[in-house]
Amino acid sequence: MENRTDKNSYTIIFAVVMVAIVGSLLAYAASALSGRIDENKRLEKQQNILYAMGINDNDETSAVFISTDKAPEAFDANIVEQLVLTVEDGEIIKQQTRQEYLDENGDEPYLIDIKKEKSNAKDGKARRMPLFIGEKDGEKIYIAPIYGKGLWDAIWGYVGLDENMVVQGAYFDHKGETPGLGANIKERYFMDDFIGEHLMDESGNFQGVTVAKGNADPTNQRKTDFKVDALAGATITGDGVTAMIKSDLRLYVPFFQNLKK
Amino acid sequence: MGLLSKKDSKLILDPLADNNPITIQVLGICSALAITAELKASIVMSISVLFVMGVGNVVISLMRNIIPSKIRIIVQLVVVAFLVIIVDLVLKAFAYELSKTLSVFVGLIITNCIIMGRFEAFALGNGIWRSFLDGIGNALGYGVILIIVGFFRELLGSGTLLGFKVLGDPIEKTGLYAIGYENNGFMLLSPMALIVVGILIWVQRSRNKALIED
pLDDT value at B93 more than 70:
yes
Position A172 scores a pLDDT of 93
Q: Report if residue B46 sits inside a domain.
A: yes
- Nearest chain B CA: its distance from A168 CA (Å): 23
Proportion of chain A above pLDDT 90, given as a percent: 21
Per-residue pLDDT of B128-146, as tens digits, reads 999 999 999 999 999 999 9
Q: Report if residue A13 sits inside a domain.
A: no
Query: Residue A3 and residue B171: Cβ atoms within 8 Å?
Result: no
Comparing alpha-carbon positions, the chain B residue that sits nearest to A4 is B68
Query: Residue B66 and residue A11: Cβ atoms within 8 Å?
Result: no
Distance CA B116, CA B104 (A): 19
The total of structural domains in chain A comes to 1
Query: Residue B104 and residue A176: Cβ atoms within 8 Å?
Result: yes
Q: Report if residue B57 sits inside a domain.
A: yes
Top pLDDT among A15 and B179 is at A15
Using pLDDT thresholds of 50, 70 and 90, give the confidence band for residue A1: very low
Q: Report if residue B88 sits inside a domain.
A: yes
Distance CA B191, CA B193 (A): 5
State whether residue A21 sits within 8 Å of chain B by CB: no
Query: Residue B35 and residue A183: Cβ atoms within 8 Å?
Result: no
Q: Report if residue A209 sits inside a domain.
A: yes
Residues 6+ apart with CB under 8 A from A187: A62, A63
Contact criterion met (CB below 8 Å) for A94 and A87: no
Size of interface A-B (CB pairs under 8 A): 92
Range of the domain at B90: 20-208
pLDDT value at B149 more than 60:
yes
Top pLDDT among A222 and A237 is at A237
* Least confident segment among A35-39, B155-159, B167-171: B167-171
Per-residue pLDDT of A107-145, as tens digits, reads 888 888 888 888 888 888 888 889 999 888 888 899 999
Q: Report if residue B74 sits inside a domain.
A: yes
Mean pLDDT over the full length of chain A: 86
pLDDT value at B1 more than 60:
no
Q: Where are the alpha helices (DSSP H) in chain A?
A: 8-52, 71-78, 98-105, 114-122, 188-192, 235-250, 253-260
Proportion of chain B above pLDDT 90, given as a percent: 15
Position B2 scores a pLDDT of 58
Per-residue pLDDT of A97-116, as tens digits, reads 888 888 888 788 888 888 88
Burial B107-116 (b: 16+ CB within 10 A, else e): ebbbebbbbb
Q: Where are the alpha helices (DSSP H) in B63-172?
A: 72-94, 96-110, 113-121, 128-158
Q: Report if residue A32 sits inside a domain.
A: no
Position B3 scores a pLDDT of 66
Q: Report if residue B15 sits inside a domain.
A: no
Range of the domain at A174: 49-260
Q: Report if residue A2 sits inside a domain.
A: no
Query: Residue A233 and residue B185: Cβ atoms within 8 Å?
Result: yes
The total of structural domains in chain B comes to 1
Q: Report if residue B3 sits inside a domain.
A: no
Q: Report if residue B214 sits inside a domain.
A: no
Q: Report if residue A35 sits inside a domain.
A: no
State whether residue A72 sits within 8 Å of chain B by CB: no
Q: Report if residue B68 sits inside a domain.
A: yes
Position B214 scores a pLDDT of 63
Q: Best residue in A4, A8, A9, A11 to probe B by mutation, most B CBs within 10 Å?
A: A11
Distance CA A72, CA A40 (A): 12
Q: Report if residue A15 sits inside a domain.
A: no
Mean pLDDT of B80-107: 81
Mean pLDDT of B15-35: 80
* Backbone angles phi and psi of A15, in degrees to 5: -65, -45
Position B62 scores a pLDDT of 92
Distances (CA, A) of A11 to A6, B64, B73, B124: 7, 14, 13, 16
Mean pLDDT over the full length of chain B: 84
Distances (CA, A) of B55 to A235, A238, B84, B124: 38, 38, 11, 14
